[in-house]
Copies of this chain bind each other. A is one copy, B any other.
Amino acid sequence: MDTALVKRAETLTKERLAPRAAGYDQQACHPKENWEDLWKEGMLGLCIPRPYGGRDVDPTTYVNVIERVARGCASTAMTLHMHSTATKFIAALGTKQQHERYFSEVVEQGKLVGSWGSEPPISLTRTLLVETSLTPVPGGYHVNGVKHFCTMAGAAGYYLVWGALGGESDMAKSLVQAVVPAESPGMQSIGSWDPLGMRATVSPGTKFTECFVHEAEVLGPGGAPLSCGVIEQFALGYAGVYIGIAQGALDYTAEYCRTRVFAPATEPIGADPLIQRHLGEMAIALDSARLIMDRAAHEWPDADPARRGLLSAQAKYAATEAGIAVTTRCLQVCGGRSAMKSMPIERAFRDVRTATLMPPNADSMLGIIGRSQMGMSTAAFKPA
């Protein structure tokens, strides 16, 4: 792990990113100033190869940077993670020309790359299917279809749009990713964005109508996004986000208990064995999740996609359970006052519940883990 970088992320979060989080949440707006800070620190290149100016950090460093950022601003951490994973796909599946084009814009101009896979009629966690089609036309493709949960819509430089070549339904053969430039005609934002939490991820729907992408803007052969060992990184990084949110909430709560005195008592509530017990249960839960995440990151480089499916399922599941349990409990321990937006833990409570809904869901992850015990398949997704 690059301890210095993780420490830098922690400091940056405390000093610059966290103070803006409540405002972004309230307005449900893009965390542009935070992205700017991350760019200046070189953190938009976490998954970009060094020859192109990136940091190409190891997975342990990666999840810990995400986790530190999430302690202060979950939406910033999530968008950083989506962007980083999109660049990881480009690194894995792109040509040299594509690398040069996209990575330089990220590193030199601070451009972000979104990743848009979800669609209204489908559930990725049940069957990985996309109905958005790439129809061959001279020089490229026409993209048609509807995406939702389009994170960073209107603010990134490019969007990795998951589509099926020719609209075929056999994902193992037809699934590709088009790197659609932000200014492309044929993209229309639809629907509103007013969610429970993760509000600064700004993820409305997008309708594609004969949106032209150049053939040089499509990655890899059909099916590659499923087999290249990158898709599993989504869940790994989510674990970092959830753990970071919960850690921020727990740190706040522990400090509250250590110092808060209610009349007529003269000792802080942290002297109460029942409060100590709550803190103990939260701490051990979060601690466990962190160890599982770190183990996954540690084994990642040598793991094949099936193993990564298992590792990421373990990490995301444990972080989901711990994240929800901890944030719910923090509010209970701090009491009614903590439901106010003047304390940061109600945002943590909303952010974790929202972020943990991203695919694959808990049922799916438990299935993966359970099957691993019997030597059965541990693929992260079940493609159509």
Contacts and interface: CB of A to CB of B under 8 A. Distances in A.
A284 to B, nearest CB: 6
Interface string A327-363: 0100110011011111000100110011011110111
Contacts of A198: 339
A4 interface: no
Protomer copies: 4
A279 interface: yes
Interface string A354-384: 1011110111011111111111100000001
B194 A340 contact: yes
Nearest to A276: B370
A109 interface: no
A317 interface: yes
A318 interface: yes
A195 B335 contact: no
A262 B126 contact: yes
Given A277-B370, A291-B288, A369-B279, A122 B353 contact: no
A369 B283 contact: yes
A196 B353 CA distance: 13
Contacts of A354: 336, 339
Interface of A is mostly: helix
A292 interface: yes
Interface string A127-158: 10101000000000000000001000000000
Given A280-B366, A284-B318, A336-B118, A350 B196 contact: yes
A274 interface: yes
Contacts of A358: 336
A64 to B, nearest CB: 16
A303 interface: no
Interface residues of A, number: 85
Contact of A197 (B277, B292, B339, B370): B339
Contacts of A273: 272-274, 363, 367
Given A336-B358, A368-B280, A349 B123 contact: no
A264 interface: yes
A219 to B, nearest CB: 24
A45 B359 CA distance: 49
Given A276-B370, A279-B373, A283-B372, A341 B262 contact: no
Interface in A176-209: 192, 194-198
A254 interface: yes
A279 B292 CA distance: 17
A363 B273 CA distance: 9
A284 B373 contact: no
Contacts of A324: 328
Given A195-B340, A353-B331, A295 B284 contact: no
A60 to B, nearest CB: 14
Given A129-B263, A331-B353, A376-B270, A366 B276 contact: yes
13 contacts: A129-B264, A195-B346, A254-B374, A279-B369, A280-B366, A280-B367, A280-B369, A284-B317, A331-B357, A332-B361, A336-B359, A339-B353, A349-B353
Given A274-B363, A282-B373, A284-B292, 10 more contacts: A122-B262, A197-B339, A272-B273, A273-B273, A278-B370, A280-B366, A280-B371, A328-B328, A331-B357, A335-B357
| Shortest beta-carbon contacts, A-B, top 7 | A280-B370, A276-B370, A280-B366, A279-B370, A280-B369, A288-B288, A291-B291
